[in-house]
Structures are given as structure tokens and as C-alpha cells.
Amino acid sequence: MPAAKSGSDPTTAARDARRLSTLLEVSQALSGTLNLKSGMQRVLQTLIRQHSVVRGMVTLLREGELHVEAVEGFEDRARSIRFKVGEGITGKVVESGRPIVVPRVSKEPAFLNIAPRRPDQGKQELSFICVPIMLNRQAVGTLAVDLRFKAERDYDSSVKFFGIVSGLLAQALNVQRQVEDERRRLLDENTHLRQELRERYDFSNIIGTSGPTRQMYEQVAQVAQTNTTVLIRGESGTGKELIAHAIHYNSLRAKKPFVKVSCAALPDTLIESELFGYEKGAFTGANARKKGRFEMAEGGTLFLDEIGDINLSTQVKLLRVLQEREFERLGGTETVKVNVRMIAATNKDMEKAIADGTFREDLYYRLNVFTIFVPPLRDRKADLLLLADHFLEKFSREHGKVIKRISTPAIDMLMAYHWPGNVRELENCLERSVLVCDSAVIHGHHLPPSLQTADSSGTVTRVSLKDAVAAYERDLILDALKTTRGNRAKAARLLDTTERILNYKVRGYAIDVRRFKTPEVGRRGPDAMPEGLRDASAAQ
């Protein structure tokens, strides 16, 4: 029996002992370094020193080819050798996942003599053993050694031994790959977090390249670094808050707090205590002193959103803080000094509010040091596509969908609409579309009903001549009514027809003329058209 034989044979016993000590050295070499390449190098050196290995090579599979990871006993240029899977003995070992032994290299025609011997290796006969490095039952590389030829060599036992060495290499490789994966994951996470911070702090997340938007960027850049009070004006949903953030995070106060007060959300009775804080016992329920938002924003920025909604008595107190940078807490006598930069925003017509007596003129002038007007979305249609793409990407990511683009008809519909709710409405519209979208493209029918038009729903093209003419006629009438803001007499003149005929057609097509009448021209603009008929001027 071989076992009994190996136990009794003193040379075999010595060989086994040497092998055990080699395995110990190998595992120490691999665990003692974070650099796997140098660990492998030391493994090969150990094999050469302890056994009759003349030279050795470790290859690893990368991008479909075997790359030399470590060599010992070869000329240096051997490091650049590449093996294809299936090519030569090394390639076949990886392909089959089984070791190959060549007892006499000189007699083996399949032996690719890619790496010639060094002069000092002479002409001695060599045996070649190549074992796979297996990871998760897959060959991911090889360990190959040239041994001095010995006629009496027990190749089975040698293959087993080198197999164990390759197993240790595989373990080290596994650990290294896990560490690498973890490192990559942490790097990704880090990049993601940085990105998030940048998004929050930078104004690169303000999308748009149109003339009015660029002008706005310039104003933000001009004023951010100063301590000037800024008033941001614009319709609802145009991005006023976004701009207030951009100013703060691009100012010298960026590391200090940005505190927001929604003036419209706070009842008159609460707003003063919110802004200025109170002393203990100032009113029933004031059990302890409380800091107001002004004090919370110390060193930073206080953003007074919807300032147009603030009551007159609070306006007086605000005026004092703006002028003197000091105030008293409610129920207190101590004067508190503050270093706060103020940004206010409103969608109200301030001039009208002053004329009506609901807003103090002196406060307005104090706030109106540097005013940024945020144009409504309908006046910067050049930004619309960029914004739409931005929101498409954002919501696709959020909802885990792969939606690549917006179809041309859907883009036409977006361009034709007048966006009374501005960017916020566009944002909501895109989120809805992403939610209902069942393909890789947003089509017209994914957009909300307010954007659907006779045109986009295809009633013009895929119908009989009679219906097509009717649809065209209806479109012309809608267009004329839109241009004349619902004035039928003018619309009739535009269409070179009589008011009587127009009225007849309007009834026939069930057109609701009232919807074209825009009482608040400034707010909704001439484009206010719930039917969302394509706006010829906007589409140009």
C-alpha cells in the first residue's frame, strides 16, 4: 500500500516534511502582505528553494486572457506573455479546469516554448506541471512549474502538492477580490455622497442655459459673496427657493446655518415668536426661553419665504432688524445682536401690495436692495428640454425604471403647453409620466391630460377627409380664439368669416370660449389654454 510505503520510506518522509514546511511558508507569504503579486512572487521563490523547481509562473484570467501575475526563474520579458484560453498547455488547463503533467518537456510537441530558458538553466531535461487556480469552481488562473526531470518522480503526489499550493493562492485571491469589491463599493458610495452634497450646495443643479437663466446665474454669482439682502421674485414654482440655497451655499456663510421661515405657513400669532424667540414666561405656555430663527441663523442666512404674506406689525419689527441688526425676544428687554444675511422671496405683486397698504413701503425698500427676477418657464422655453431631461433622469432613477428619452410628439406637447405652475408643474408632469410609462420612451399619451391636444392625440391624421377637415377647422378656430383671448368678433375677423358663422361652429365643436378669457393676464399670460393647443409662437 502506498500509504504504508510512504510512512516507512525515509526519503518520502523527508519529502512530506519539506512539503509541510513549504505550505506553512506559502500561507505566511500570502497572508503577510496586502500586495498579492509580491505574495505570489515569494511563493514561487519558496518552491524553487525547497523543491526541485527550476522556474515557476502564476497566471490569472483577465478579460478573457491569461496574464502573467508572477514569475520566478524566467527572463524578465516573460512577464508580458499572454496566453489565450485553450492555447498551449496553460490555456488548456484553464479551459478544462484540470492539471496537466508533461514528464519530459523535450518530448512534448504541444509545449509552447514561449519563454526560452535562461543560459544558466542549461540543457537539462525538465518536467512540467501546470495546475489550475480554482475559485467558485471556475478556473481563474494557473500555477505552472518546471521541475528537474527525475525518472522516479511520483507525479500524482506532486500534482496533489502543487494543487494545495494553488488552493492557497485561490484563497488569497478570493480575499483580495472581496477587499477590492468592498473598496470599490465604498468608493462608489463616497462618490455618490459627494455628488449629493455638491448637488445640495452647488448651483450646478439649477438647470437651464437660456438667456434669462444665464442672466440669473450671473446675478447669483455677483451677489452671493456679499452680505447684501436679496429679494427673489417670480411666479410660484419658478425655483426661488433653489436660488436662495444657491446664494447661501456659494457665500462665505456656506458652512453656517441656512434657516428658512415660511411666512405664509405661520399664523400671525406665531410668526413673531418663531422669528425672534421668547423669554420664559412671555406668555402662557412659555415655560423656558426659546431661540428664534434669527438667533438660529447666527453667522448664516435667514430665508424669509413668501415675505409678501407677512402681517404689518411683524413688518415693523423686521424693518428694525434689517436696519439695526438687533431685536428683543418676546417678553424680554435684553437686546440681541445678530449677524445674519437675509434673503426674501415672494410671488406677490409687491407694488400692488404697497398701493393696497398691506406691505410697508420702507420695508420693501430695505428688502429691495438687490432683486433677482426669476422668469416664468413659458418665457424660457429653451430651458424646457434640459429640465425635462433632467427630471426624466431623476425620476427614472428614483422609480427604478429605464426610460431613455422623450418622443418627438411628446416634446412638441411639452413645448406647446404654457406651464402656469412653472418648473414645479413640469417636475410633477415628468414624475407622473415616468410612473405611467411602460416602455423605454415617454410618449404623448403618457403626459397628463392637461397637455393632450387634438393634434397630439392623432385625430388630425388618422381619420376620414370629412373628420380631418373638421379637426383642422376646429384647430383654426381654437387658434383664433386663443389669439384674441376669447373675443369672438375679433376671431371671426381673423378667420375672414362672420361672427354668426363662428358662433355656430363654436357651438358645433363644443368649444368653451370662456376658457380663453384670461382675467389675470400677468399670471397666466396669453398662453393660458387648458386645451393645450400647440402654441405656434412657442413652437418656433
> Which of 232, 234, 327 is CA-nearest to residue 278?
327
Instruction: Provide CB contacts within 8 A for 11, sequence distance 6+.
Output: none
What are the percentages of helix, strand and coil residues in the chain, rounded to 5? 50, 15, 30
Q: Which of 27, 52, 236, 358 binds ligand ATP (CB under 6 A)?
A: 236
Q: Could you say which of 154, 241, 393, 431 contacts Mg ion (CB under 5 A)?
A: 241
Binders of ligand ATP among residues 336 to 365 (CB under 6 A) are 347
239 binds, among ligand ATP, Mg ion, none (CB under 5 to 8 A by kind): ligand ATP
Task: Say whether residue 141 binds ligand ATP (CB under 6 A).
Answer: no
Torsion (CA) 530, 534, 539, 540 in degrees, nearest 10: -120
Q: How far is the CB of 259 from ligand ATP (least distance, A)?
A: 16
Closer by beta carbon to Mg ion, 293 or else 534: 293
Instruction: Work out what residue 407 binds among Mg ion, ligand ATP, none; the CB cut-off runs from 5 to 8 Å by kind.
Output: none
Residue 424: name its binding partner from ligand ATP, Mg ion, none (Cβ under 5 to 8 Å by kind): ligand ATP
237 sits near ligand ATP (criterion: CB under 6 A): yes
CB of 34 to ligand ATP, least distance (A): 44
| Half-sphere CA count of 502, side-chain side, radius 13 A | 23
How near is the Cβ of 390 to ligand ATP at its closest, in Å? 6
Closest-approach residue to ligand ATP (CB)? 239
Host H or E run for residue 143: strand 138-148
How many angstroms separate the Cα of 60 from the Cα of each of 139, 161, 345, 386, 407?
9, 20, 62, 46, 47
302 binds ligand ATP (CB under 6 A): no
Out of 242, 282, 415, 470, which residue is the one contacting ligand ATP (CB under 6 A)?
Answer: 242
Which range binds ligand ATP by CB under 6 A, 172-180, 235-243, 281-289, 467-475? 235-243
3 state SS of 63: coil
Alpha helices in 228-367 (DSSP H): 240-249, 268-276, 293-296, 312-324, 350-356, 361-367
Residues 6+ apart with CB under 8 A from 130: 89, 90, 93, 99, 100, 101, 142, 143, 144, 145
Binding to ligand ATP by residue 208, rule CB under 6 A? yes
Does position 206 interact with ligand ATP (CB under 6 A)? The reply is yes
* C-alpha distances out from residue 540 to 367, 382, 455, 494, 534, Å: 38, 11, 16, 21, 11
Could you tell me which stretch among 33-41, 118-126, 218-226, 241-249 binds Mg ion (CB under 5 A)? 241-249
Q: Residue 101 or 242: which CB sits closer to ligand ATP? A: 242
- Among 238, 251, 456, 484, the residue binding ligand ATP under the rule CB under 6 A is 238
Per-residue binding string, ligand ATP, 423-462, x by CB under 6 A, is xx--x-----------------------------------
Collapse the DSSP code of 410 into the 3-class scheme (helix H, G, I; strand E, B; otherwise coil) and give the result.
helix
Integer-rounded Cα Rg, in Å, for the chain is: 40
Contact between 348 and Mg ion per CB under 5 A:
no
Which does residue 343 bind out of ligand ATP, Mg ion, none, counting CB within 5 to 8 angstroms by kind?
none
- For position 424 contacting Mg ion by CB under 5 A, the verdict is no
Q: For residue 286, what is its C-alpha cell? A: 412659555
- H/E element, 424: helix 422-436
Residue 25 engages Mg ion in binding (rule: CB under 5 A): no
Candidates 71-79, 83-91, 235-243, 396-404; binding stretch for Mg ion (CB under 5 A): 235-243
Q: Which does 238 bind (CB under 5 to 8 A by kind): Mg ion, ligand ATP, none?
A: ligand ATP
What is d(CA 427, CA 430) in angstroms, rounded to the nearest whole number? 5
Widest CA span in the chain: 122
Residues that bind ligand ATP (CB under 6 A): 206-208, 234, 236-242, 347, 387, 423-424, 427
Please give the residue ranges that form the binding site for Mg ion (CB under 5 A).
Answer: 241
